[in-house]
Structure 1
Amino acid sequence: MSIGKIGVVGAGTMGNGITQAFAVAGRKVVMMDVAEAQVQRGLATISASLDRLIKKDRMSAPQKDAAMACITTVSSLDALADCDLVIEAATENVDLKLRIFADLDRIVKPEAILASNTSSISITRLAAGTQRPGQVIGMHFFNPVPVMALVELINGLQTSAATYSAVEDVAKAIGKTPIKVKNSPGFVVNRMLCPMINEAVFALGEGLATAAEIDEAMKLGCNHPIGPLALCDLIGLDVELAVMQVLYEGTKDPKYRPAPLLVEMLEAGYLGRKSGKGFYDYK
């Protein structure tokens, strides 16, 4: 399988980061979102990110121009019909992802590969909703995508060896380090990371220390570059809760039960940085 043109569904934090990673590597990429305003916000985010690289002397202005020229923006899935690989980076909602995969399966050419940036949802389940289950794979990038080297490549039960090989090659071609992961709730990184964050929320809810003290303890005591609660704000409290629910429901193990404070903060509309308030205030 040869992968040339890339499609990305979603222009949010992960979608525009994935788009940037491919564009900087010189790959033609089509970034799609349902509203033109969202697409333009995503494009502006990419432009600002590249400007920061220029200021740090890690990119030249002509290199930025070349990367931006690789990006096409659209607001319809139909515009992805001729892509060789389409990466879904929508909200972590299984019903939404199943609808997107069903639509993509109908729209894109038969030989195209469909990938999901899901952080926890079963690739086997997503693949089963298409007529090309052997060409469906998980391609889980990490935030911020342009900086983080890792990509988890998740094989569903049906994923073919040719699909895995093609996606592994394209991940390496854009400078990422792929690891092969078996389809399982939370995969590898989130299977370990999200319970740690959840435990920090338990500690905060029980009044063991303040949010700042918990984060400082992990930074100084475990040499983490960012504390778990600040990290939760960065990735989104809604994403953290979604992953914990997948882990809990997928394993039925009570050690994965979401912290009550996490649930309550979601009920209050506190999503972290993207809403302006989470464990810290960003307004």
Structure 2
Amino acid sequence: MQINKIMVVGAGQMGAGIAQVCATAGLEVLLHDVSEASLQKGITGIEKRLQRAMEKGKLTGEARQAAINRLTPSSTLKDVKTCDLVIEAAVENMEIKTKIFRDLDEQAPEHALLATNTSSLPITEIAAATSRPEKVIGMHFMNPVPVMKLVEVIRGLQTSEETYQAVKQLAVQLEKTPVEVNDYPGFAANRILMPMINEAVYAVYEGVSSPEDIDTVMKLGMNHPMGPLQLADFIGLDTCLYIMEVLHEGLGDSKYRPCPLLRKYVKAGWLGKKSGRGFYSYQE
């Protein structure tokens, strides 16, 4: 299947990043958001990142302008009628995602594939909200999308081989490395990453060591570019907690129980970098 035109639903950090790499790779892109302010912010962010890439010599002026020309803002899902693929990157909430997929299923052409950038929610359940479950798939990009090379390509129970191959080929076209993953809670990346972060939080909770020293152990001892607690702050502690709850509920194993300290920080509004305080302070 040839994919020429894509709609990205959600103009936040992930959606804008996905739209950017698709437009840079030569695809026509509609960036959709229900919020006009979010849409404008997303477009502006893409233009700034492309400008920086050009200034660093990673992109020519012609390539930058061509990518911008391929990008069109969209305020209505009806625009999906001309698209071959949709990549949904809305908020991580099953009720919201299933509503989006029901609407997309009604509006998108029969041949169109529907992908979700969810980091933890079951693809099979999202697909069940549509009349084309064989054309629904997970396409989990890593943050920041323009920099990170990995894409988890996640098969739902009914995802067809044709759908999987088309999305895998697209990931390669975007200069990403696709890995095949089946539909289990947390997929592969978060199934491994989040318990490590949670265990680091337990180490702080139990007084094993300080956040700084735990991160130093992982950076210098295990050659991680960033410690797990700093990484948790960058991801968002509320997001980490949410994914741990998905793992705990979905797998029913006590080893995925979120650390009480993680819950306490989230209840306090200490969500990490985005709130100015997590395991570290980000106040100016």
User: When the two structures are superposed, what TM-score results if normalisation uses the length of structure 1?
Assistant: 0.96
2:22 corresponds to 1:22: yes
For residue 126 of structure 2, what is the aligned residue in structure 1? 126
For residue 113 of structure 2, what is the aligned residue in structure 1? 113
2:240 corresponds to 1:233: no
For residue 199 of structure 1, what is the aligned residue in structure 2? 199
Write out per-residue CA displacement over residues 244-269 of structure 1, whole angstroms, 9 at most, x where no aligned residue.
11110011000001111211222122
Aligned 1:59-208 pairs, distance under 5 A:
59-208=59-208
Amino acid at match of 1:111: H
Bigger shift: residues 4-13 or 205-214: 205-214
Contact kept in structure 2, 1:29 and 1:71, CA below 8 Å? yes
Aligned residues: 283
| Percent of paired sites with the same residue | 54
- For 1:32 and 1:276, locate their aligned partners in 2 and report how far apart those are by CA, in whole Å: 29
- For 1:282 and 1:44, locate their aligned partners in 2 and report how far apart those are by CA, in whole Å: 24
- For 2:276 and 2:40, locate their aligned partners in 1 and report how far apart those are by CA, in whole Å: 21
- For 1:157 and 1:75, locate their aligned partners in 2 and report how far apart those are by CA, in whole Å: 32
The RMSD of aligned alpha carbons is: 1.3
Aligned 1:207-246 pairs, distance under 5 A:
207-246=207-246
* Aligned partner of residue 185 in structure 1, secondary structure: coil
Cα deviation, residue 218, structure 1: 0.8
CA 1:77–1:273 in 2, change beyond 3 Å: closer, same or farther?
A: farther
Cα deviation, residue 238, structure 1: 2.0
- For 2:247 and 2:33, locate their aligned partners in 1 and report how far apart those are by CA, in whole Å: 28
2:38 corresponds to 1:38: yes
- For 2:142 and 2:175, locate their aligned partners in 1 and report how far apart those are by CA, in whole Å: 14
- For 1:120 and 1:45, locate their aligned partners in 2 and report how far apart those are by CA, in whole Å: 26
Cα deviation, residue 162, structure 1: 0.9
Bigger shift: residues 249-258 or 88-97: 88-97
Write out per-residue CA displacement over residues 166-208 of structure 1, whole angstroms, 9 at most, x where no aligned residue.
1111111111111111111111111101100111111122232
For residue 6 of structure 1, what is the aligned residue in structure 2? 6
List runs of 5+ in structure 1 lacking aligned partners.
Answer: none
Amino acid at match of 1:169: Q
